[in-house]
Amino acid sequence: MSELDPAAKRLDDALKRLEGALDTLFSKSGDPAAMRGEVSALIEDRIRLAEELDASLAREKELQMLADEASAALGSAIAEVRQALGRDA
């Protein structure tokens, strides 16, 4: 499980609560056009944040693959050094 998954879930839950609160506010509001503008801005922010989160998750996967490759290369190098020193494990 990614370290970002819990943060993404909390963000999504918070945004859903915010949307619910806005829906309630809209029903009590006197200026629907102004509220629609606010909602539009919030939706744009949510889309931007979702895109940033997706990019971060993709970068995390890329970094994990690089770390796995580095670990494998280091393991091979250690084995070669042990063999050269005559300390086969």
The two tokens of residue 87 are 């300390």
How far apart are the C-alpha atoms of 16 and 34, rounded to whole Å? 20
Average pLDDT, the chain: 87
Domain ranges of the chain: 4-84
What's the pTM value of the predicted model, to 2 decimals? 0.53
> pLDDT tens for residues 18-53?
888 888 877 776 677 777 888 899 999 999 999 999
Res. 10: pLDDT tops 70: yes
Say if CB 29 and CB 74 are below 8 A apart. no
Burial track 52-84 (b if 16+ CB lie within 10 A, e otherwise): eeeeeeeeeeeeeeeeeeeeeeeeeeeeeeeee
